[in-house]
Amino acid sequence: MAKYERGQTSDEVIRIKNEITDSLQKKADLIEGIYGYDDIHPSLEMKGATISEAAVYRWEDKDLGLKKCSYNTAHNDHNKDVLTRLLKAINEANSRLTTSPPENKALSNQPKTRLSQDAVDKLKEENEELRSALAEVYRAYIQALEYMREDCEVDDALRRLLLNQAAVLGKERVWEVK
């Protein structure tokens, strides 16, 4: 006999579904509070100058109690009212962001990282070292290819020379040259 009857949902699935709905409500509350680029929470990743719907779905922050969810989960029937509120909040926040003063916009376009400037500088330096090492490896590879081509040409020339000598000396002296 099955643990659940047909159409019955487990308590765990219902709990997860309710957590996602609560998370969507919290996201809507947080986005409604955005009036400028400084108000955007650092855990909300933005690729452009506006907040995308997909970024909000991917937004996850354990400190704030936010869970990520898929597009289909957000558009389920039980999330209909919350989703309407969330989409309205996103659109209103984007309209406020596009009308915010340019100086705030310029500051917010700089990537928000959790690394210190020293760590960023160190990473840039390591990146340059890796690029130069990669260039050296590539040069060595090209040189090895060139040597291999030269060796093949020399081998072909020696093979032709041996074949010519074999032809001159006749089949009696050299039994196998191919």
What are the angstrom distances between the C-alpha of 127 and each of 43, 92, 124, 131, 139? 26, 40, 5, 6, 18
Q: Could you read off the pLDDT of 86-119 as tens digits, one per residue?
A: 999 999 988 888 886 544 444 455 555 577 888 8
Q: Could you read off the pLDDT of 60-86 as tens digits, one per residue?
A: 988 888 888 988 988 888 888 999 999
What's the confidence (pLDDT) of residue 105? Answer: 45
pLDDT at residue 172 tops 50: yes
Mean pLDDT score, 24-39: 88
Contact by Cβ (8 Å): 67, 19 = yes
